[in-house]
Amino acid sequence: MNQREPYIIFDDVSYRYPRTRRYALKHLDLTIYKGEFVTVLGENGAGKSTFCQTLNGVAPHSRGGRMRGRITVGGLDTQETTVAELAQKVGIVLEDPETQLFTTSVLSEVAFGPENVGIDPQEILRRAEWALEVVRLTGYEDRAPTALSGGQKQRLAIAAALAMRPAVLALDEATSQLDPIGTVEVFSVIRELNEQYGMTIVMATDKGEEVAQFADRVLVLHEGELVAQGTPREIFADTGLLERVMIRAPQVSQLAIYLQERDTPLADFPITVDEAGRGIVQLIGGAN
């Protein structure tokens, strides 16, 4: 990335929900660049979902509560822009797909967003078919969303967001119910969209192994504060951080830390299976 264009800017943002004194987000200062793939890690209650919901203005517009500081997305101040307007820039996929699906067929679910912004019917159909293909739901067009399995519902919610071709796609634990290979597939698809269309990705997740493989940068939230940010390798190698904040590092990184704590570090800190394999061969193979 040579010319990095700041796209999402948090300027000293604090936010609290109505009827509570506790801030869900505290003094966030950060920039997300156009075309970046950013993941948000943190324990339950760290503020990850709230963070995602500030991007399309749902917090504070629909949630109420009080926001201080300023968030701009693609130059729009989220507090001065309606959710409807922001929704054309930011697609959001929620954690529980049941809260998001409401039509009677898979096809109409995916078409709903584009229909509401007055896109040409032929184009709506093309986009819907494309989005369903991307999430591997082709053939399910006439099924009722309620008749899908949990994982299929999650894929459908992602397709519905994709059909809007948003500049930013925010995903809140959107792969939590997917099987292991399905999870990798969704991450790959999102990486492809990110690379092909320059779609900016903000993804709250706890899947450390996929984060290591696919993300450019990790933000770590803890009790509403941004306590660390860096590449996946910087984050997963930070043993002090991992002790303070319970986030799931890839198992190969956990292994490296296990060995390190027993005075047998690998030469280079691994975050993928290949890297760990090379390190172990060097460690044992070299000694034999």
Partner 1 sequence: MNHDDIAIAIENLEYVYQPHNVKAVNGISFSVRWGEFVGIIGQNGAGKTTVLKNILGLLTPTSGRIIVDGVDTRQTTVADLATRVGFVLQNPDQQLFAQTVEEEIAFGPRNLMLSEVDIQERVEEVIALTGLDQFREEFPPALSKGDRAKVVIASVLAMRPKIIILDEPTTGQDYKGCHQIMQIAHRLHEEGRTVLVVTHHMALVAEYTERTVVLCQGGILLDDATDVVFSQPETLRQTHVAPPQITQLAQALPRELGLPANALTVPQLGDSILSGGHT
Q: Does residue 255 belong to the site contacting partner 1 (CB under 8 A)?
A: yes
Subset of residues 36 to 75 that bind partner 1, contact rule: CB under 8 A: 42-45
Instruction: Tell which one of 59, 164, 178, 235 touches partner 1 (CB under 8 A).
Output: 178
What would the x/- binding string for partner 1 be over residues 79 to 98, using CB under 8 A? ----------------xx--
- 241 vs 91: CA distance, rounded Å: 31
Smaller CB separation from partner 1, 7 or 51: 51
Give the nearest distance from C-beta 33 to partner 1 in angstroms.
27
Instruction: Tell which one of 19, 22, 181, 240 touches partner 1 (CB under 8 A).
Output: 181
Q: Does residue 262 belong to the site contacting partner 1 (CB under 8 A)?
A: yes
Q: In sequence order, which residues have a C-beta less than 8 Å from that of residue 19 and are 6 or more positions away? A: none
Q: Does residue 30 belong to the site contacting partner 1 (CB under 8 A)?
A: no
- Token pair belonging to 99: 């809260």
CA nearest neighbour of 161 among 197, 135, 122: 135
Q: Does residue 121 belong to the site contacting partner 1 (CB under 8 A)?
A: no
β-pairing, 6-16 vs 66-73, is antiparallel
Smaller CB separation from partner 1, 72 or 260: 260
Count CB-CB contacts under 10 A for residue 18: 9
Q: Which residue has the tokens 């269309």?
A: 197
Burial 106-127 (b: 16+ CB within 10 A, else e): bbebbbbbbeeeebeeeebeeb
Site residues for partner 1 per CB under 8 A? 42-45, 95-96, 143, 147-152, 173, 176-184, 206, 209, 246-248, 250-252, 254-255, 258-259, 262, 264, 273-274, 276-277, 280-281, 283-285, 287-288
